[in-house]
A and B are shown apart, each in its own frame.
With several copies, the nearest count.
Chain A
Amino acid sequence: IGEIQRFIRDDGSIKVSRSLKEIGHKIRRKRDELSKKFGRSPTVSEIASELDITVEEVVHAQEAIRAPHSIHETVYE
């Protein structure tokens, strides 16, 4: 129920595609920032706690900003 209230505060009528993309961009920025800071790739839970979101959200939102047909960008980015 806490999860529900949080989404209502965040305007729950927003489309999933848009909301996930926004979170996805935050994840990407935070990943780059923490990679520099740590000198290694941050873990999923480090990203989640820095952004104050759940690991579930990290996992689902990360997919939303993947451009389709760009497997090689994903690999070599």
Chain B
Amino acid sequence: MKNSMRVSFSSVSSNESFARVTIASFIAPLDPTMDELTEVKTVVSEAVTNAIIHGYEKAEDEIVTLSCSIDDNIVEITIEDTGIGISNIDEAIQPLYTSKPELERSGMGFTIMENFMDKVEIESAPGQGTTVKLIKEFQSTRSLCN
């Protein structure tokens, strides 16, 4: 199975939910377990929230882009913003690190992504924006074992 989609949407926080349903519905044909689906929704949520609150510092007239491609059982997801970017990626991905402690952020967004996905790649340049690429392989033969 080969399929891909790319969706751009306004940087308003109600679109976090939109992004979760969109990714869930796109990967549903792979028939993952509810746990797997929840994990993918959670990582997309974390990355989209980061784009809105860190990348755009809550400006609501910017654009967040979510893409997903499915190639057999490999799912590749990217979340892009053209916001402020990350100057020190090594620091940003440390568990509990947050640049916005005043917002009661947990600093666990990237840690959650690394936990739930097979691979997390971050590309970012200050003033240019951030692209987070998330890759996960789903079991393709599971339905045979049911």
Contact = CB atoms under 8 A, between A and B. Distances in A.
A43 B33 contact: yes
A49 B17 CA distance: 17
Contact of B31 (A3, A4, A17, A54): A17
Contacts of A8: 35
Name B's interface SS: helix
B34 A42 contact: yes
Interface in A1-32: 3-4, 7-8, 10-17, 19-20, 31
A37 interface: no
Interface stretch (B19-27, B60-68, B89-97, B125-133): B19-27
Contacts of A62: 24, 34, 37
| Chain A: number of interface residues, binned into ranges | 35 or more
Given A15-B33, A41-B33, A55 B28 contact: yes
Contact of B33 (A3, A4, A14, A59): A14
The 5 closest A-B CB pairs, nearest first, are A12-B35, A41-B33, A41-B35, A59-B24, A12-B34
Interface of A: 3-4, 7-8, 10-17, 19-20, 31, 40-45, 47, 54-56, 58-60, 62-63, 66, 71-72, 74-75
14 contacts: A3-B38, A8-B35, A11-B34, A12-B34, A12-B35, A41-B33, A42-B33, A42-B34, A44-B31, A56-B17, A60-B25, A63-B21, A63-B24, A75-B38
